[in-house]
Amino acid sequence: MATGVQQQSVAARGARRRRKVNWTPYLFILPHLILFIVFLGYPFFSGLYISLFQYDILRPAASRFVGLGNYANLFTPGTPQYQTFWNGLINTIEFVVYSVPPLVVIPLLLALLLNTRMRGVNLFRAIYFAPWALSGAVVALLWWWIFQSQGGLINYYLADLGMRPPRWLNTLPWAWVTIVVATVWWTLGFNMVIILAALQDIPDYLYEASAIDGATGIQAFFRITLPMLRPVMIFIITTSIIASFNLFIQPFIMTNGGPAQAGGGGGTESVMMRIYNEGFVRNLQGSAAAMSFVVASIMIAISYINFRVFGKRD
Amino acid sequence: MAATTPSRVAPTREPRISYRRKLLIQRIAIYIILVVVALIFLLPMFWMLSTSLKPKSQWFAREIQWIPETFTTASYQRLLNNQSTPIGLWFINSLIVGTIATTLILIIDSLAAYAYARMEFRGRKPLFALLLATLFLPGLMFLIPNFVTIARLGFLNSFTGVILPGLAGVFGVFFLRQFFEGIPRDLEEAAQIDGASQVQTFFRIALPLAKPAIATLAIITFLASWNDFLWPLLILKDRELQTLPPGLRTLQGAYTSEYGQMMAGAVIAAVPVLVIYVTLQRFIVQSVATTGLAGQ
């Protein structure tokens, strides 16, 4: 390393004077940078480009420039894309509305229960978090079996209670119930662990001071705990919304997007499933790319609003 | 931790006993809730295992059987002997993909992270800001264009095609850079005064110190790779090349209402990650908590 002495002074003091270029840092970042450019930088533009074509990777020669046609289809009633895309998008938003409240409230309650100096707290924390380590495929397959009409675990117990259980997986709104239950079971622990860590960061003296002032436990919760948790809760809510927006494997395996709807499109078909079907079943990659960009814009807007508007302290 | 509360309560006298009893009742109530919730998490996994070990005649038994009346590995045997669902191969494929992806990410990301943390070079700040910005872009934007790129490069139906795009990820670089920045500069400066080059300083000083962070990244990366569904589903079309999660979907299609075989497959996919999780649980939970908090 002939340039060792120069590197040292450049690195240590950040000298401004022009010297021979030190290539070491560039060699360090190069492998990642190349991959980054090819698979995260370039696709941003190539995706936009593809979305302007009727594009089929299996028959590239047959590709045809359609300008904003793929986007126009999404906003023109009567096209096949319009019906299925909005069905998928509305279903996904419905799922966000069903899944995010339990994914925020239940982990908060569990974290509060675990935020005590009792024996075994770490064991319970580990158990609640465990499903997060499983593949979505395992989780979806497992809950698909549990909710089966024949031999399904849930129906054993409902029958014991003398109830006539619904056909969980292929009728609405029950199909959503199965998907939300599987999702909450799978990912709740992640939110809980983060909230618990934030709770443990709240200094004890705040509670001691409020106890001296005669505050009750409930007052302390609303005046100290919740305000102190505010940044972490906004983080949890935002990441949960984004994660729920990506809904794919649960309906893919549990309901196959069904039940079929009168107007076309499935009752639990998410927008990710729609993009998958458009791009890889119907092989219309241009149209699927256009859908991806519209959905991504919505997701970015949601994150932005959450952090900028609700993230501000009053 | 657990010892501090009782010692604080202990010195109090007679009139406080009712208070202690109240505390005890409260504690028992909390434990009951915690145990019930724990069962909600554990029993479905147990049911998966239980189904996989039951003979076919008992899958739909009238009475619920948490513990099989007769144990049998028939479901596993039928699954493993069926040529059209080569789950043994899928397991090996998952292992290969996970190991290679993890190894490459550790190498690529630790090099880049160290440069962004400690080296001076032109364009460092704007480049790193660019990397960070992509953390906020939804992954689904990249699905179609990356599929097209992989197809054009001729990597469809290959492990290369599954692994490559994941190596571009920014999380590992960000995560390790945080750690490198936390190492006191004195050690590296001392090494450089002793005549070590930047490369030597990285390998002899910084990298050994970063072992815990690298181990954490290794676990997270391996779990993510092992569990990934959509990307390998798109890239690997040959049955023999599939990884376990898309393989489970194939099982679902191949065994109509053969729940024993499907649950056996789910158990095979779940056991390795559960073993990793149980052994490294504290480590994993801790790292999620700290990176989650840093993420705000």
Closest partner CB to A190 (pick from B193, B281, B288): B288
Q: Which of A20, A39, A150, A272 to mutate to test the interface with B (most CBs of B within 10 A)?
A: A39
Q: What is the pLDDT of residues A247-302, one digit of tens each?
A: 999 999 999 998 988 777 899 999 999 999 999 999 999 999 999 999 999 999 99
Residue where the block lists tokens 């590709």: A63
CB neighbour list of residue B104: distance below 8 Å, 6 or more residues apart: B163, B167
- CA B57 – CA B68 distance, rounded (Å): 11
Integer Cα distance of B116 and A29 in angstroms: 8
Tell me how far apart the alpha carbons of residues A8 and B199 are, in angstroms, rounded to a whole number.
11
Show residues of chain A in contact with B33, CB under 8 Å: 113
Q: Is the pTM of this model over 0.80?
A: yes
- By Cβ distance, the residue of B47, B64, B144 closest to A285 is B144
- Taking the C-alpha atoms of residue B50 and residue B72, their distance in angstroms, rounded to an integer, is 10
Q: Which of A232, A202, A246 is nearest to A306 (CA)?
A: A232
Q: At what angle do helices A80-114 and A285-305 cross, to 10 degrees?
A: 40
Contact A50, B145 (CB under 8 A): yes
Give, in order, the Cα–Cα distances in Å from B146 to each of A50, A304, A305, B142. Answer: 11, 25, 28, 6
Flag if B138 and A235 touch (Cβ within 8 Å): no
How many residues make up chain A in this entry?
314
List, in order, residues 6 or more apart from B134 with CB less than 8 Å away: A36, A40, A41, B170
Q: Which of the 8 DSSP states describes residue A222?
A: I
Report the pLDDT value the prediction gives residue B8, as an integer from 0 to 100.
46
Amino acid at position A108, single letter: L
Confidence (pLDDT) at A137: 96
Residues of chain A in contact with residue B292, where contact means CB-CB under 8 angstroms, are 190, 193-194, 197, 235
Among the partner-chain residues A153, A194, A279, the one whose CB lies closest to the CB of B144 is A279
Beta bridge partners of A266: A260
Q: What is the mean pLDDT of each run of 10 residues along chain B (296 residues)?
A: 43 62 88 95 96 90 85 92 92 97 97 95 94 89 95 95 96 92 89 89 92 91 94 95 95 88 96 93 84 65
Residue B193: its chain A contacts at CB < 8 A?
Answer: 8
Q: Does B231 touch chain A (CB under 8 A)?
A: no
What CATH number has the domain spanning B78-295? 1.10.3720.10
Residue of chain A nearest B7, judged by CA positions: A117
Rounded Cα–Cα distance for residues A291 and A71 (Å): 8
Interface test with B, best of A108, A134, A287 (most B CBs within 10 A): A134
Q: Can you read off the two tokens belonging to residue A310? A: 């609700």
d(CA B212, CA B283): 9
Contact A28 B202 (CB under 8 A): yes
Category of B238 on φ-ψ map: left (φ > 0), alpha (ψ -120 to 50) or beta: beta
Question: Given an 8 Å threshold on Cβ–Cβ distance, is A35 in contact with B234?
Answer: no
Please give the distance of CA A59 from its chain centroid, rounded to a whole number. 33
Tens of pLDDT along chain A (314 residues)?
Answer: 444 444 554 455 554 555 678 899 999 999 999 999 999 999 999 999 999 999 888 887 888 999 999 999 999 998 889 999 999 999 999 999 999 999 999 999 999 999 988 888 889 999 999 999 999 999 999 999 999 988 889 988 888 888 888 899 999 899 999 999 999 999 999 999 999 999 998 998 888 888 888 888 888 888 889 999 998 999 999 999 999 999 999 999 999 998 988 777 899 999 999 999 999 999 999 999 999 999 999 999 998 888 887 766 54
Conformational region of residue A21, where left means phi above 0, alpha means psi within -120 to 50, and beta covers everything else = beta
Cβ atoms of residues B288 and A190 within 8 Å: yes
Structure tokens at B199: 């490369």
- Residue A7: closest CA among B176, B112, B118: B118
Per-domain residue ranges of chain B: 4-76, 78-295
d(CA A224, CA A94): 33
DSSP H or E stretch at residue B293: helix B259-295
Q: Is B254 part of the contact surface with chain A (CB cutoff 8 Å)?
A: no
Please answer yes or no on whether B141 and A44 come within 8 Å at the CB atom. Answer: yes
| Separation of alpha carbons B140 and B181, rounded Å | 31
How long is chain B?
296
B110, B116, B141, B284: best to mutate for the A interface, most A CBs within 10 A:
B141
Partners of B115 on chain A (C-beta within 8 Å) are 25, 28-29
CB-based contact A29 B45, cutoff 8 Å: no
B 4-63 residues inside an 8 A Cβ radius of A: 4-5, 27, 30-31, 33-34, 37-38, 40-42, 44-45, 47-48, 51, 59-61
Chain A residues near residue B134 by CB distance under 8 angstroms: 36, 40-41
Superfamily grouping for domain A72-138+182-310: MetI-like (1.10.3720.10)
Torsion angle of alpha carbons B216, B222, B223, B229, nearest 10°? 150
Sequence spans of domains, chain A: 72-138+182-310
Tell me the two tokens of residue A15: 């000298």
Half-sphere exposure of A290 (CA within 13 A, CB side): 22
Inform me whether the C-beta atom of residue B1 falls under 8 Å from chain A C-beta atoms: yes
State whether A194 and B292 contact (CB < 8 Å): yes
- Among candidate residues A229, A300, A287, A310, the one with its CA nearest the CA of residue A51: A287
CA dist B39 and B46 (Å) reads 10
Nearest by CB to A235, which of B189, B198, B296? B296
Quickly list DSSP for B72-121: --HHHHHHHH-TTS-HHHHHHHHHHHHHHHHHHHHHHHHHHHHHHHH---
Q: Is B229 on the interface with A (CB under 8 A)?
A: yes
How many residue pairs bridge chain A and chain B with CB atoms within 8 Å of each other? 298
Distance CA B200, CA B205 (A): 8
H helices then E strands: how many in chain A? 15, 2
Q: What is the pLDDT of residue A19?
A: 62
Q: DSSP for A223-256, please give it.
A: IIIHHHHHHHHHHHHHHHHHHHHT--HHHHHHTT
Cα(B247)–Cα(B255) distance, rounded to whole angstroms? 12
Find, in chain B, the residue whose alpha carbon is nearest to that of A296: B138
Interchain pair B248, A131: CB under 8 A: no
